[in-house]
Amino acid sequence: MKFKLFYKFFGIIFLSILLSLLTAAVTIGYFGKKNFHRYLEKTKVKEFSTLAVNIGKYYEAHGSLEKLISKEVPLHIAFMAGDREMAKDLGSPDAMEAMPRFPKEHEVFTFYDTDMRYLAGGQYPPEDMHIFPVVADNKPVAYFGVLKFRKLPPNPFAEKFLESQIYLLMITTLIVMVLATLTALWLTRNMLAPLRELNIATRRVAERDFDVDVEIGSNDELADLADNFNVMTNTLKEYELSQARWISDISHELRTPLSVILGSIEAIQDGVRKPDFETIESVYQNTIRMKRLVNELHDITLAESGVMHLQKVSVDIAHELASLLDFYEVRLAEFRFSISFESYDEDIMVQVDLVRLNQVFINILENAIKYAKSPGVLYVQCVVDGDDVLISFEDTGPGVSEEHLPRLFDRLYRVDSSRSRATGGSGLGLSICKYIIENHGGSVSACKGKKGGLRLEIRLPLEK
């Protein structure tokens, strides 16, 4: 059976309030009764302490307590009349008639002699009594005890008062329960209202509708959840648009060489063109271009999926870079570019996949050939900077405008004034470079160079 979250929240709040009320009611009922009895007992004990003084005065006036312990007058009447000239009124019939009569077994007072031997009153053991000394002429002449409250017969007045208090407590508890139920309903509805909005918004996102925004007016975790949800939907929307552009651009990139290849083959089949060197060369170059694009797409897929495996080895990066530049010097010279290489440190050891890293360097060199102004100079530097090695490539122009620099490493991004499909670039090269460098734990960035062109900086962690 499936329970809605509303009932679960309501149950939790309601049961919490119910248990709190029941605990409070039981606690107040139990301890209230106990404390009330204790209060009565303490009040009586204080009164009987004063009575002990009066009995002592009675003893001093009459020389004995014979009349009190002779059983001529019940002790409870004697003590209750004792505040007003005990000796004078003890035998008064009016006083006798005015005092309430208790059965003998309910006699709550007891007299003891100085050795704590029973003299008169109720026959109870001393441990059940509050014992008070009767002092005359500064010495105890007797003791009398008052039965402890827990041993007393029921007091109808006290019991009735407690019953009225318990009844009032039950009525109060019932009223509070009704208010608590209404409060629990209100709290549950208000707490779950944002979740209902999120639930509706989630369904819309599941239907690929990303134009949804959840607004919660609170300042708590649900508001944070709503903010994160909105960020997620915006990210998904951007990703959806990016994927659409990605598929469109890739389709166009593949369609161009395929159209050239297919058009050349159809022209040969129709006899319009002959299978001469020029035609075969065109088909070959477009095939190479398409193969390169497919390989770059494969590299991008590996990098984004996190399965680009690196075979890292310890190398002297300055030495390896110098060797690559020596090898590439002839190709750069063909396009009238010279190289200026500087490295002020020796044995700059790093842990890298040399094949992948050379792929990065070659891509940067090829970009310089395509986009830098010829003739020109390519300045390469390899230096230690803190815990990193800094490798920079800088050409002599024309460079890239400031607004294009942050997006140079985006997939399929081209700067219109300097890059076009006619040059053969796919717009994936620098994006692949970025993935490779980041998978090595490094970073790559672009900025305007001091020589008037573009400056690319690569940072790699030094071998520890």
Q: Indicate the pLDDT class of residue 96, thresholds 50, 70 and 90.
A: very low
Q: What percent of the chain has pLDDT over 70?
A: 77
C-alpha 378/C-alpha 365 separation (Å) is 9
In terms of pLDDT, which residue wins out, 4 or 83? 4
Extract the tokens encoding 277.
Answer: 């060197």
Q: Computed from CA positions of residues 141, 147, 149, 153, in that sequence, does the dihedral angle turn out positive or negative? A: negative
Residue 156 pLDDT: 63
**Residue type for position 22:** L
C-alpha 202/C-alpha 208 separation (Å) is 10
Least Cα distance to 453 among 405, 381, 384 occurs for 405
Q: Computed from CA positions of residues 443, 448, 449, 452, in that sequence, does the dihedral angle turn out positive or negative? A: positive
Residue 443 pLDDT: 92
Residue 166 pLDDT: 72
**Residue type for position 30:** Y
Q: Indicate the pLDDT class of residue 15, thresholds 50, 70 and 90.
A: confident
Q: Indicate the pLDDT class of residue 83, thresholds 50, 70 and 90.
A: very low
C-alpha 369/C-alpha 35 separation (Å) is 98
Which residue's entry shows tokens 């318990």?
Answer: 166
Spatial neighbors of 443 by CB under 8 A, at least 6 apart, are 437, 458, 459
Euclidean distance between the first and final Cα of the chain, in Å? 60
Span 188-234, pLDDT tens digits: 777 777 777 777 888 888 888 877 877 776 676 777 878 888 888 88
Least Cα distance to 390 among 320, 318, 301 occurs for 318
When pLDDT is averaged across residues 281-287 and rounded to a whole number, the result is 81
Characterize 328-356 residue by residue with b for buried, 16 or more Cβ atoms within 10 angstroms of its Cβ, and e for exposed. Answer: beeebeeeebebeeebeeeebebbbbbeb
C-alpha 347/C-alpha 337 separation (Å) is 28
Q: What's the Cα-to-Cα distance from 445 to each of 93, 390, 400, 437, 454, rounded to whole Å?
A: 117, 11, 13, 11, 11
Coil/strand/helix, residue 390: strand
- The counts of H helices and E strands in the chain are 11, 11
In terms of pLDDT, which residue wins out, 260 or 106? 260
C-alpha 384/C-alpha 401 separation (Å) is 29
- Domains of the chain plus CATH, in order, are 5-156 (no CATH), 221-305 (1.10.287.130), 313-461 (3.30.565.10)
Q: Indicate the pLDDT class of residue 99, thresholds 50, 70 and 90.
A: very low
Residue 145 pLDDT: 83
Q: Indicate the pLDDT class of residue 351, thresholds 50, 70 and 90.
A: very high
Extract the tokens encoding 166.
Answer: 């318990």
| 131 touches 143 (CB < 8 A) | yes
Instruction: Reply yes or no on whether the pLDDT at 247 is more than 80.
Output: no
Long-range contacts, stretch 420-427, CB < 8 angstroms, 24+ apart: 421/253, 421/256, 423/370, 423/371, 424/289, 424/370, 425/367, 425/370, 426/253, 426/292, 426/293, 426/296, 427/249
Instruction: Reply yes or no on whether the pLDDT at 101 is more than 50.
Output: no
Q: What's the Cα-to-Cα distance from 261 to each of 15, 195, 300, 455, rounded to whole Å?
A: 77, 57, 25, 37
Residue 417 pLDDT: 41
When pLDDT is averaged across residues 442-459 and rounded to a whole number, the result is 88
Spatial neighbors of 52 by CB under 8 A, at least 6 apart, are 132, 133, 134, 135, 144
C-alpha 345/C-alpha 318 separation (Å) is 8
Extract the tokens encoding 126.
Answer: 């001393």
Q: Indicate the pLDDT class of residue 382, thresholds 50, 70 and 90.
A: very high
Which residue's entry shows tokens 């815990």?
Answer: 387
C-alpha 385/C-alpha 407 separation (Å) is 26
Taking each helix axis as running N to C, give the angle between helix 5-62 and helix 156-206, from 0 to 180 degrees, rounded to the nearest 10.
Answer: 160
Residue 379 pLDDT: 92
What is the chain's mean pLDDT, rounded? 76
Extract the tokens encoding 79.
Answer: 């003590």
Strands 337-342 and 139-147: unpaired
Residue 139 CB neighbours (<10 A)? 9
